[in-house]
Structure formats: structure tokens, C-alpha cells
Copies of this chain bind each other. A is one copy, B any other.
Amino acid sequence: MPQAPPTTDPRARLTELARPPMRADARRNYEALLDAADEIFSRRGPDAPLDEIARRAGVGNATLYRHFPSRRDLLVAICIGDVEALCALGNRLQRHPGAGEALTKWLRAYIKHVSSKRGLPAAFTTGRREDSEFVSACHAAINATGSALLKKAQDADEIRDDVNIVELIALVNAIAIATESQGLREANRLLGLVIGGIGR
């Protein structure tokens, strides 16, 4: 007899993974690495040497590698707060009177968060099989949140039926990538075009 299926909400699963139980010294190192990564990435870009981040955090480089097996894990970890904020916002927007407007508000918030850190949109582009469980859990939480908003908007006949959340988020990520050097205003312009295209 197999285990009970994981009926857990993706957002709850994410919170679990984001805060694994750790010995006190390990936790200190973990936090120091996040702080260091946040600073170094924002100053030197997403390709900054990982050794520099470890040095800045005052830990050995192997410690970094243990906590964050891939660069992408680290990139995603430093914005876990943004992901959780987006999920929370999505939940609140469920009760928004206009379902179509709720979706577009959330998409604008999404692009704002994801554009706030260099290299993040690329890290968020979904569908890599090699992604760690942690990164996959982020995608799953975002998808679950966006999916609920999209479905409501489609049920209200405000958004075309032949749009799905995976491609919609892929497109928004694409916009963030394309406008990375130009800023949020430009990203919002392009998002406006897309929103115009999916309405009905």
C-alpha cells in the first residue's frame, strides 16, 4: 500500500522547504550566505563568483555548496520572501470584485517582484528538469496561485479560455528578461500589450 498522496497545498510545502530544521550554527551560516548573496548578486550580477559570496559570509566555500547545491538555488532562495508575498497577495486578490482585474493586478505585482533582482527572471523560467525540489516548489506555489486567479477570470468570461497559466507566466518571465536593462516601466508597457491580447 503506497503512502498517502501529498495533498498538501503547494504554498505550505514551500514554507516547509524554505525553513528546514537546522543546528544553530548551520542556521547562522545559512542566513549569512543569504545576506552575502543578496549583496554580491545585486552588485556584481547573477554570475558573480560563488567563492566571493562564501568569503563575504565568512564561511568555507564548501559550506555554501552544501546549503545551495546550484547557483539557481541560491538565486531563488534570496527571493523566497518575494515568492511568499506573491502567494499571499494572490490569496487576497481572490476576494477582489473584478476577477479579470485581480489577475492583471497580480501579474503586475509578479513582474515587479521578479524584476527587482538581476538574473531572477531567468532563474524563474520554468520547465527545467534539473531543478532542485526547492526551486520546483517555488514554481508550483506560483503556478497554484496564478492558476486560481486565471480560472476565476475565465469563468467570469473576462479572459480567453485558451490561455493557461504556465504559458502566461512564461510570457511574463519573458517580458522581465527582455526588459531587464530598461526598467520596470518598459516591462509594464509590454505587459499591457499582453493583457490586451488575452482579454475577450
Contact = CB atoms under 8 A, between A and B. Distances in A.
Contacts of A163: 193
A189 B190 CA distance: 17
Interface in A144-178: 163, 167, 170-171, 173-175, 177-178
Contacts of A43: none
Interface residues of A, number: 25
B182 A178 contact: no
A127 interface: yes
A5 to B, nearest CB: 27
A85 interface: no
Interface string A110-142: 000000000000100101100000000000000
A38 interface: no
Nearest to A160: B193
Interface string A177-188: 111011000100
Contacts of A167: 178-179, 186, 189-190
9 closest A-B pairs by beta carbon, nearest first, are A197-B197, A174-B174, A174-B178, A196-B197, A170-B178, A193-B197, A127-B181, A174-B177, A171-B190
